[in-house]
Every structure is written in structure tokens, then in C-alpha cells.
Structure 1
Amino acid sequence: MNKSFYQYLMSERNENSYEPIAEFANNAFLDQSFPKQSTDFEEISKYLEENASYLPSMTIFDDVWQNYLLSIN
């Protein structure tokens, strides 16, 4: 079974970094409602658009999603 997007995202955490992907991961870690088990782009994208004020641009999510797909293939 493939790892969830959240599991991949957590590998990008770095509390000492100001890089957009690391900040996204750090903030998602603190987000109790993040869909942690999901592997579905649409579900996660919709959640982020509606709930993640900590994500300044959906382009960051798109970049991480592409990296996630590469990691599971």
C-alpha cells in the first residue's frame, strides 16, 4: 500500500527552514483536521483551498504533489 500524501509531506518538515515546502509541511503537522490518510488529489486540494489559510499559494501544494507522485512510483 502506498503512503498517504500526509506521510510524504511529513518527510519535508524542517522547523528551521523558511522554504515554502518545509513551511507547508510544518503547518500541516499542526493542522488537526488535515486528511492524513488520503491519497486523493481532489480531496486534499479541496481541503486546502477551503481550510488551509497557512498555505499562501496552491502552487506549493502542486509542487509537493508532483514530488509525492514521483516518490510512490
Structure 2
Amino acid sequence: MTQRHPGSSDPIAEFANNAFFDQSFPKQEDDFEKLSKYLEENAGYLPSMTIFDDAWKDYLAYLD
């Protein structure tokens, strides 16, 4: 959610914006597999799982 930037054309920002408005998105989840499964099954707004993978890498780098 920290990557939200309304109006941005950056793919990660667009993903974050859409996930923010997805009322079912598990915003507090921190398990990669659970998030990935949710997105694969429910996130028509995510054109490529590569975007999620890139966002996840950024998230892990932020934690370090």
C-alpha cells in the first residue's frame, strides 16, 4: 500500500491503487503464497503476476 500514487502510470503504483480499492484484498497478509494465490484467483486488475513479484521484491528489500 505504500506504493500507491493515484494517477501514476507505474505498474506497481497502479497495482497498489487497485489493491487498495479491492475490499477483499488481504491487506495485512505477509505470506507470499497466500497473496499470490489470492491475486491469481481474484485480481482481474493485475495484468501480470510479474508486477506482484517486483512489488514483493521491493517489500522484502524494505524490510531489510
Asked if TM exceeds 0.5, the reply is yes
Identity of aligned residues (%): 69
Runs of 4+ in 1 over 4 A off after TM superposition: none
Provide Cα deviations, 1:2-47, integer angstroms capped at 9, x if missing partner.
Answer: xxxxxxxx11111121111110010001000001111100000000
Amino acid of the residue matched to residue 66 of structure 1?
K
CA RMSD of aligned residues (A): 0.6
- Alignment of 1:49 with 2:40, yes or no, is yes
Equivalent residue letter for 1:23 = E
TM-score in terms of structure 2 length: 0.96
Correspondence for 1:38:
29
Query: 5+ unaligned residues in a row in structure 2: which ranges?
Result: none
Aligned residues: 64
Which of 3, 9, 34 is the equivalent residue of 1:18? 9
Query: Aligned letter for 1:38?
Result: E
Structure 1 unaligned residues grouped into runs of 5+ = 1-9
| Aligned ranges 1:56-71 → 2 under 5 Å | 56-71=47-62
Task: Classify the secondary structure of the residue corresponding to 2:46.
Answer: coil
